[in-house]
Amino acid sequence: MGSEYFNPVNTQTWANGRHQVRCLKVIQETHDVKTFCFGMQQPVLFFFKPGQFVTLELAIDNEQVMRSYTISSAPSIPYSFSITVKRVPGGKVSNWLHDNLNAGDSLTVHGPVGQFNCSDFPAEKVLLLSGGVGITPVMSMARWFFNTNSDVDMAFVHSARSPEDIIYRAELDYMSTRIDNFRLHVICERIPVGQAWSGYRGYLNRELLQLIAPDFIEREIFCCGPAVYMRAVREFLQNADFDMSRYHEESFGGDIVNKEAVAESLAAETAAAPPESSELLAVHFRTSNKTIMVAPGTTLNEAAASASLKIPKACGMGICGTCKVRVLDGQTEMNHNGGIDEEEIAEGYVLSCCAQIQSNLDVEY
């Protein structure tokens, strides 16, 4: 690495957008989990809020595929960033990454974005809850607090299938022995024959949490894991009269499924009762020189698809910012979830996945 990396005049800062990055290293975390570390050719400081994510833009079997992954590293180590991926049976992207992405390879990422982060919800005491590979965003938070010598009181509670499935095990043990404001608790669902384990067994519930963190009611809680895990956590926290405004979870994955189901239902209703031609609105895609007529309320992404144009998208609900396009003329109504900032909106940009068409439009795409 040349001296230019340490020259503040030459160093750039990462900002939400589309970036070409290079895989620097691949780390085998467990038998089915790998960490992929990325950087750029030019010196770049990868600043982001711990807990945020990026969206990978990949070409798999000659098809463009977008998939979002939490950044597992912390911005306190700023010249690179990492994602940690679990191989999922039948998982198109996770299997491709495990089998094909190697050090030296380049790919495109979008981001960083995400409202699930510890920067926007400062607290003196936090409870970091995770299940399986859901450990990645809370690990980013813990690394940030650890590396910056923060005095935030951390209770870190992780649920794993078995001892051999504990991601970052050695690093977590190191952090717990290095500072006294990081208390580690790992729960294993099952212990295979021949494996030694002296920690908690079974599943996280209210009684176990009361034992692990008796003061959980006083903490800011950040939670990530499988949907069934987070649902159980929400239920026992609510039963304990926890102030749910202090509970935060990474949940966009489940919401995408629900949103797509709703979209399919609405599309079916529209097909069954098409609007009168007098009610249709014209959407012109200037760069592509295509025009499509659509019903009011259609999303801009849906309109593009009807014109045989594919605006990339990943989350489908205004979080990741992947589907951003610029509206040159006309009105849309957009209810997003943090994937775009006020400055971009002022310049005419919208998130096409959640921008509903309200008038004739001229779009830069």
Within-domain flag for 117: no
80, 112, 144 - which closes a domain: 112
Structure tokens of 150? 């923060």
Q: Is residue 119 part of a domain?
A: no
32 part of a folded domain: yes
Confidence of residue 20 (pLDDT cuts 50, 70, 90): very high
Question: Which residues fall within 8 angstroms of residue 221, CB to CB, at 6 or more apart?
Answer: 126, 127, 129, 237, 242, 246, 247, 248
- Please indicate, yes or no, whether residues 148 and 230 belong to a single structural domain of this protein: yes
CATH number at residue 231: 3.40.50.80
pLDDT per position as a tens digit, 163-191: 999 999 999 999 999 999 999 999 999 99
Query: Does pLDDT of 16 surpass 60?
Result: yes
Of 84, 112, 140, which closes a domain?
112
Strand partners, 158: 130, 186
pLDDT in tens, 212-223: 999 999 999 999
DSSP state, residue 307? T
pTM: predicted TM-score of the whole model, two decimal places: 0.76
Residues 71-106 as b/e (b if ≥16 CB within 10 A, e otherwise) read bbbbbeebebbbbbbbbeeeeebbebbbeebeeeee
The answer to whether residues 62 and 155 belong to one domain is no
Do 243 and 131 lie in one domain? The reply is yes
Do 286 and 335 belong to one domain? yes
When mean pLDDT is compared across 140-144, 147-151, 248-252, the lowest value belongs to 248-252
Other residues' Cβ atoms within 10 Å of the Cβ of residue 205: 13
Residues in Cβ contact with 256 at an 8 Å cutoff, skipping those fewer than 6 apart: 315, 316, 317
Q: Which domain holds residue 334?
A: 273-364
360 domain residue, yes or no:
yes
Q: Do 55 and 82 reside in the same domain of the chain?
A: yes
| pLDDT for 272 | 42
* Residue that terminates a domain, selected from 112, 142, 169: 112
pLDDT value of residue 262: 33
What is the structure's pLDDT at 340?
Answer: 83
Same domain assignment for residues 35 and 58:
yes
Question: Could you give the CA distance from residue 85 to residue 355 in angstroms, rounded to a whole number?
Answer: 31
In a domain, 177, yes or no: yes
Residues 336 and 233 in one domain: no
Range 143-158 average pLDDT: 98
Strand order in the sheet with 349-351: 290-294, 281-285, 361-364, 324-329, 349-351
Measured CA to CA, the distance from residue 87 to residue 33 in angstroms comes to 6
How many domains does one find in the chain? 3
The answer on 357 and 318 residing in a single domain is yes
Q: Which of 70, 77, 82 is nearest to 34 (CA)?
A: 82
φ, ψ (nearest 5 deg) of residue 121:
-135, 65
Residue range 248-267: average pLDDT? 46
pLDDT surpassing 80 at residue 266: no
Tell me if 257 is assigned to some domain.
no
What is the CATH number for 68?
Answer: 2.40.30.10
Task: Assess contact for 212 and 157: CB atoms under 8 A.
Answer: yes
CATH of residue 315? 3.10.20.30
Write down the number of H helices and E strands in the chain: 8, 21
Residue 107 sits in the same domain as residue 132? no
| pLDDT of amino acid 176 | 97
Kindly state the average pLDDT of the residues 89-114: 93
